């Protein structure tokens, strides 16, 4: 029985609509008993608001009270309580009887098995030595530092996790590493990171996705780029991509330009005013598939 002297309490989140947009929530702790929801005091977030993480209704949070034993004193919270990666999207607290407390002493439910026991989950979540921000779905930001190789890296990832094709007792939720079509930006730094011809570098940015669009706010088409919920709405993407310009493959473009230069510099006319004689490279240029110069996957304003 909680006598009110507990420093950190566990609570069940019952209300997350703050009348002042302050990220305050209402959390029922054991001391509250059957107190009506409207009488419960708001709990203020302990994390700075520059880092936003608000629990969902039904999840758990850790509650600190300003005055020990006074349930009406100012409350502060850290949450949500997420026991394991399988419950990243939502981890039910169920008034102390849910999966959220499975790793706490006295929890009524046992934890699930480690997802890292399954090779197909490797890479889905940050390593324990990484500094990271992990989203509720399949997104995260990871800051890696490899002391052995003196390599630094930042990964901004989206769609990096997916549900298993067939869930098991332990492998549930978005825990499978997506090897097919994730989107991510990778920033890497290391002395002599690459050393190939024309590729020497210490720093590199890799941008990966099925389709890549580079769009200017000042594009003549005046694309809708500032939707309040999505920035670029999904139902506008096809239209936007249709009006963007496909990027040229540089090496393929150079190949065609070399053919054009050869044609201009070496073509021969039998007589003044006669058409040029058709040489091998001229035939090659005439049959050149110009469309292969353009990328199907990268577009710009």
Q: What is the dihedral of CA 273, 274, 277, 283, to 10 degrees?
A: 90
Tell me: the pLDDT tens digits for 94-127? 999 999 999 999 889 999 999 999 999 999 999 9
- Domain harbouring 43, CATH code: 2.40.50.230
Partnered with residue 194 across adjacent β-strands are 201
Q: Which residue has better confidence, 269 or 87?
A: 87
Separation of alpha carbons 44 and 74, rounded Å: 8
Mean pLDDT over residues 218-223, rounded?
A: 92
Out of 61, 85, 112, pick the residue that ends a domain.
112
Residue 228 lies in a domain: no
Local confidence band at 6 (pLDDT 50, 70, 90 cut-offs)? confident
28 forms beta bridges with 12
Q: Does residue 254 sit in helix, strand or coil?
A: helix
Domain that holds residue 277: 234-300
Contact 203, 166 (CB under 8 A): no
Examine the domain organization and report whether 51 and 79 are in the same domain.
Answer: yes
Position 42 pLDDT exceeds 50: yes
Same domain (yes/no): 4, 106: yes
Q: Let me know if 78 is exposed, middle or buried by CB neighbors in 10 A (0-12, 13-18, 19+).
A: middle
Pick the residue with more confidence: 292 or 133? 133
pTM: 0.89
Beta bridge partners of 152: 145, 189
pLDDT at 2: 53
Average pLDDT over residues 202-219: 97
In 160-244 the beta strands, taken as DSSP E runs, fall at 161-162, 176-177, 183-194, 201-208, 212-214
Same structural domain for residues 15 and 118?
no
Q: Does some domain include residue 94?
A: yes
Quote the pLDDT of residue 216.
96
Contacts of 189 (CB under 8 A, 6+ apart): 151, 152, 153, 202, 203, 204
Q: Are residues 4 and 96 in the same domain?
A: yes
Share of the chain above pLDDT 70, in %: 96
pLDDT of residue 272: 76
Q: Which pLDDT tens digit goes with each residue over 149-205?
A: 899 999 999 999 999 999 999 999 999 999 999 999 999 999 999 998 889 999 999
Residues 98 and 129 in one domain: no
Q: Is residue 218 part of a domain?
A: no
Count Cβ atoms below 10 Å from residue 101 Cβ, excluding itself: 23
pLDDT at 1: 44
* Helix extents (H) in 198-275: 237-243, 250-266
What would the mean pLDDT of 35-49 be, rounded to a whole number? 96
Same domain as 82, residue 136: no
Q: Is residue 192 part of a domain?
A: yes
Instruction: Report the 10 Å Cβ neighbour count for 300.
Output: 14
Pairwise CA distance, residues 241 & 226, whole Å: 16
* Residue 281, domain member (yes or no): yes
Tell me how far apart the alpha carbons of residues 291 and 207 are, in angstroms, rounded to a whole number.
24
Half-sphere exposure (Cβ direction) of 35: Cα atoms closer than 13 Å: 16
Q: Is the pLDDT confidence value at 3 over 60? A: no
**Domain C-terminal end among 84, 112, 140:** 112
Q: Are residues 206 and 283 in the same domain?
A: no
Tell me how many domains the chain contains: 3
| Domain identity same for 104 and 126 | no
Judge if 1 and 106 occupy the same domain: yes
Residue 25 reports pLDDT greater than 50: yes
Q: Is residue 219 in some structural domain?
A: no
**One domain, residues 93 and 10:** yes
Clarify whether residues 134 and 179 are in a common domain: yes
Q: Does pLDDT of 77 surpass 70?
A: yes
Same domain, 12 and 102: yes
146 falls within a domain: yes
Domain final position from 69, 87, 112: 112
Does residue 43 sit within a domain? yes
Average pLDDT over residues 49-74: 91
């Amino acid at each position: 029985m909680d006598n009110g002297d507990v420093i950190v309490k566990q609570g069940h989140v019952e209300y997350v609509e703050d009348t002042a947009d302050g990220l305050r929530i209402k959390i029922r702790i054991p001391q509250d008993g059957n107190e009506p929801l409207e009488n419960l005091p708001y709990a203020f977030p302990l994390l700075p608001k520059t880092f936003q993480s608000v629990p969902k209704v039904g999840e758990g949070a850790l509650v600190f009270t300003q005055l020990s034993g006074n349930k009406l004193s100012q409350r502060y919270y850290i949450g949500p309580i997420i026991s394991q990666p399988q419950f990243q999207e939502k981890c039910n607290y169920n008034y102390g009887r849910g999966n959220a407390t499975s790793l706490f002493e006295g929890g009524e439910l046992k934890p699930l098995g480690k997802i890292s026991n399954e090779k197909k989950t490797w890479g889905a979540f940050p390593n324990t030595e990484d500094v990271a921000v992990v989203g509720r779905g399949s997104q995260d930001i990871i800051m890696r530092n490899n002391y052995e190789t003196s390599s630094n890296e930042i990964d901004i990832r989206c769609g990096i996790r997916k549900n298993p094709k067939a869930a098991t007792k332990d492998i549930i939720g978005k825990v499978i590493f997506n090897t097919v079509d994730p989107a991510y930006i990778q920033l890497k730094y290391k002395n002599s990171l690459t050393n190939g011809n024309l590729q020497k570098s210490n720093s590199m940015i890799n941008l990966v996705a099925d389709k890549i669009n580079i769009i200017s706010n000042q594009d003549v088409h005046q694309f809708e780029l500032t939707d309040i919920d999505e920035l670029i709405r999904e139902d506008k993407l096809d239209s936007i991509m249709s009006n963007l310009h496909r990027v040229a493959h540089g090496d393929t473009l150079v190949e065609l330009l070399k053919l054009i230069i050869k044609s201009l510099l070496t073509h021969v006319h039998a007589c003044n005013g006669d058409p040029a004689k058709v040489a091998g490279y001229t035939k090659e240029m005439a049959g050149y598939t110009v469309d292969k110069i353009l990328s199907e996957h990268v577009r710009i304003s």
